[in-house]
C-alpha cells in the first residue's frame, strides 16, 4: 500500500518536490531524535511562550529609545538566541535571566542599521527588523531572510507597505536597503493584498513612530500581532483594531521600555494536544490559552478528542478508540493554522476514513508527506491539497525533519509507530520547540536524543 501511495505521490511531485526528495536522504552522521513508539502520554506539560510573538516582540524592543524592556516567558529555542545575537550586533544590550525564560533589553543606543547577514539568512522572523530599525535609524540594510523551505515566502507586501509610509527601497545590491525621507516616515492608508502576519507587524512597528495616522486594511489577525500591538501600546504608542482586519496606528514621537509577558505558544500547545490525541493519552496543557487555540481544539473535537478548558490551561484526552477523519483547511487566523497542518496530517494518517487537507497559506508545505509515506501512511497531493486515507498503523523508520513543523509531524508519527523511529535534521525542531524531547519524555514518551555517533545525549 505504501509503495503504491509513494508512486502516486511521485507522479504529482513538482520539480521542486523532486529536488527536495533527492536532498531528503538522512545520513547516519547526524544528531537525531529517537523514539520507541507505543506509549500513551499522561500528565502535565507546561506550554512556553510563543516563538513567533517573541521574535516580533524582540524586533519591537528596537522601538524604545528610552528605558529597558523586559520580556517574560520567552521560549528557550535557537531562533530566540539567534535574534538576541542579531540585536546585540545592532548595539542593543540583551541579557537573559539564568533560567533563560526572561530577557532584558536596552535599545537606547542603536549603533548599527545593518543586522548580521549570517543569522538573518537563517530565519524568517528577522524580516520583522525592517520596520523598527527604519523607524529608529532612518535607514536599514537587511539580507533577504531565511526560514523554513515551505513555499515562495515573498516579502513584497512588507516593502510596498513601507514605501506607502514614504520609504525608498533599493534591492539592487542583493540586500534590502530601505531609507526614510529626511522628515521621517509618514502615516498612510495601506491595503495588504494578503493578510500577511510579518507585513502587518512590520507596518505596525514602522507606523508607531511615523508622523500621523496609518490604517492597515486586510491586516493579519493572529494572536502574535495582538501581542506586538499590546507591547507598542504599553511602550506609549497608539494602536487600535489589533485582532481585527483593520488596524489604526497614530504615530508618536518616541516609545519607552516596559515589562511584557509573551502569550503562550498555541502551536506548541496544539502539538502537545495532538500528541495526547494520537497516543490515546490524557495531557493537561498548563498555561495554554484555549481562546487562542479554538480553531485547533474544535478540529480535534471533530476527530473525537475530548477537550476540557480550565482557567489555567486545557486538558486533552483521547480514550484510545480510532480518531475520525475530517477535512482541514489551513488559513489565516482565526482559521486552522498552517503551522499545524503538518502535525494534524500525522493524526489523519491513522484516522478512520479519508480526509482532504488544503493549505491556502503556503504552496509548498506537503513534501514532508514523503517521509510519512515511508512509515506506511497513505497520502498523495497535488498543488495545495493532499488526500490522506487512514491506515491501521505506522512503522518506525529513519525520517527527515525537512522543516520545523514537519519535524513535529515526524515525532508525532514516531510516538505511535511500531518499532523505532529516528528523526534527522533536528536543528529544525530546535528552532521552535523548547525542550521537546524532555517535555515528551516527562509525560511518558520513550524518546531521547543521540549525537551524530549514535551516542545518547542529555535531552534538550
Ligand atoms: C509567520 C510565521 C509562520 C506562519 C505564518 C502564517 C513568524 C516568524 N512566522 O510567517 O510561522 O506560518 O506567519 O501564519 O512569525 N506573502 C507574500 N508577500 C509578502 C508576505 C507574505 O506573498 O510580502 C505570502 C507568503 O509567501 C505566504 C503567505 O503570504 O505564502 C503568508 O505569509 P505571512 O503571513 O507573511 O507569514 P510570515 O510572517 O512569513
| Domain range list for the chain | 2-18+50-261, 32-47+264-457
- Dist. CA 385–CA 277, nearest whole Å: 24
For ligand 1, say whether the CB of 130 is within 6 Å of any of its atoms.
no
Which of 198, 329, 406 has most ligand 1 atoms within 8 Å of its beta carbon, as the pocket-test mutant?
Answer: 198
> Helical H runs in 209-248?
223-234
**Residues 357-381: what's their mean pLDDT?**
95
> May I ask the CATH class of domain 2-18+50-261?
alpha beta
Per-residue pLDDT band for 297 (boundaries 50, 70, 90) equals very high
| Ligand 1 centroid from CA 196, angstroms | 5
Q: What fold does the segment set 32-47+264-457 form as a domain?
A: UDP-n-acetylglucosamine1-carboxyvinyl-transferase; Chain (3.65.10)
Q: Does the CB atom of residue 457 touch ligand 1 within 6 A?
A: no
Which atom of ligand 1 sits closest to the CA of residue 56? 15
Q: How confident is the model at residue 24 (pLDDT cuts 50, 70, 90)?
A: low
Element (H, E) at 145: none
Report which of 135, 138, 157 is spatially closest to residue 237, judged by C-alpha positions: 135
Q: Is the CB of residue 403 below 6 angstroms from any atom belonging to ligand 1?
A: no
Tell which atom from ligand 1 comes closest to the C-alpha of 222. Answer: 14
Report the C-alpha gap between 454 and 57 in whole angstroms: 38
At 228-272, the pLDDT tens digits run: 999 999 999 999 999 999 999 999 999 999 999 999 999 999 999
Residue 150 contacts residue 168 (beta carbons within 8 Å): no
- Active site residues per annotation: 148
Rounded Cα–Cα distance for residues 322 and 340 (Å): 20
Q: What is the model's pLDDT at position 26?
A: 57
Same CATH topology for 2-18+50-261 and 32-47+264-457: the answer is yes
Cβ–ligand 1 contact at 362 (below 6 Å)? yes
Confidence of residue 15 (pLDDT cuts 50, 70, 90): very low
- Work out the pLDDT band at 23, boundaries 50, 70, 90: very low
Give the whole-angstrom CA distance, residue 278 versus residue 331: 23
**52 Cβ below 6 A of ligand 1:** yes
User: Which atom of ligand 1 is the closest one to the Cα of 267?
Assistant: 11
Q: How far is the CA of 392 from the centre of ligand 1 (A)?
A: 35
Contacts of 357 (CB under 8 A, 6+ apart): 327, 328, 329, 330, 341, 344, 345, 348, 385, 386, 387, 388
What pLDDT is stored for residue 2 in this prediction?
37
**Residues contacting 225, CB < 8 A, separation 6+:** 56, 197, 200, 201, 204, 219, 242, 243, 247
Amino acid at each position: 500500500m505504501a509503495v503504491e501511495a509513494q508512486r502516486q505521490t511521485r507522479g504529482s511531485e513538482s520539480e521542486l518536490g523532486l529536488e527536495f526528495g533527492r536532498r531528503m536522504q538522512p545520513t547516519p552522521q547526524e544528531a537525531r531524535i529517537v523514539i520507541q513508539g507505543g506509549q500513551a502520554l499522561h500528565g502535565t506539560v507546561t506550554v512556553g511562550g510563543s516563538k513567533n510573538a517573541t521574535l516580533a516582540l524582540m524586533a519591537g524592543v528596537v522601538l524604545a529609545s528610552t528605558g529597558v524592556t523586559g520580556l517574560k516567558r520567552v521560549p528557550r529555542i535557537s531562533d530566540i538566541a539567534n535574534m538576541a545575537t542579531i540585536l546585540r550586533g545592532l548595539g542593543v544590550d540583551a541579557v537573559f535571566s539564568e533560567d533563560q525564560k526572561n530577557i532584558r533589553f536596552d535599545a537606547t543606543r542603536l549603533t548599527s542599521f545593518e543586522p548580521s547577514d549570517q543569522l538573518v539568512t537563517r530565519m524568517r522572523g528577522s524580516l520583522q527588523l525592517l520596520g523598527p530599525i527604519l523607524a529608529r535609524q532612518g535607514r536599514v540594510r537587511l539580507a533577504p531572510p531565511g526560514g523554513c523551505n515551505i513555499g515562495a515566502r515573498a516579502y513584497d507586501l512588507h516593502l510596498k507597505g513601507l514605501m506607502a509610509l514614504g520609504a525608498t527601497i533599493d534591492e539592487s545590491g542583493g540586500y534590502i536597503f530601505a531609507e526614510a525621507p529626511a522628515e521621517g516616515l509618514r502615516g498612510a492608508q495601506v491595503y495588504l493584498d494578503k493578510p500577511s502576519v510579518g507585513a502587518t507587524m512590520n507596518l505596525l512597528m514602522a507606523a508607531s513612530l511615523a508622523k500621523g495616522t496609518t490604517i492597515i486594511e486586510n491586516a493579519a489577525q493572529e494572536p502574535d500581532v495582538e501581542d506586538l500591538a499590546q507591547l507598542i501600546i504599553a511602550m506609549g504608542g497608539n494602536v487600535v483594531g489589533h485582532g481585527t482586519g483593520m488596524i489604526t496606528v497614530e504615530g508618536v514621537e518616541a516609545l519607552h521600555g516596559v515589562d511584557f509577558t509573551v502569550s503562550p505558544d498555541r502551536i506548541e500547545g496544539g502539538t502537545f494536544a495532538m500528541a495526547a490525541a494520537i497516543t490515546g493519552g490524557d495531557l493537561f496543557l498548563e498555561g495554554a490559552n484555549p481562546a487562542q487555540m479554538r480553531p485547533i481544539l474544535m478540529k480535534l473535537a471533530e476527530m473525537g478528542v475530548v477537550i476540557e478548558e480550565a482557567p489555567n490551561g486545557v486538558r486533552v484526552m483521547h480514550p484510545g478508540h480510532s480518531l475520525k477523519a475530517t477535512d482541514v483547511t489551513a488559513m489565516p487566523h482565526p482559521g486552522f493554522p498552517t503551522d499545524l497542518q503538518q502535525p494534524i496530517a500525522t493524526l489523519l494518517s491513522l484516522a478512520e476514513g479519508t480526509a482532504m487537507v488544503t493549505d491556502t497559506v503556503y504552496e509548498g508545505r506537503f513534501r514532508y508527506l514523503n517521509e510519512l509515506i515511508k512509515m506506511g501512511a497513505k497520502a498523495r497531493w497535488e498543488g495545495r491539497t493532499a488526500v490522506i486515507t487512514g491506515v491501521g498503523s505506522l512503522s518506525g523508520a529513519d525520517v527527515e525533519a525537512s522543516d520545523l513543523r514537519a519535524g513535529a509531524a515526524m515525532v508525532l508519527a514516531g510516538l505511535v509507530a511500531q518499532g523505532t523511529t529516528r528523526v534527522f535534521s533536528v536543528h529544525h525542531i530546535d528552532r521552535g520547540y523548547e525542550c521537546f524531547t524532555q517535555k515528551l519524555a516527562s509525560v511518558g514518551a520513550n524518546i531521547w536524543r543521540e549525537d551524530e555517533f549514535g551516542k545518547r545525549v542529555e535531552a534538550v
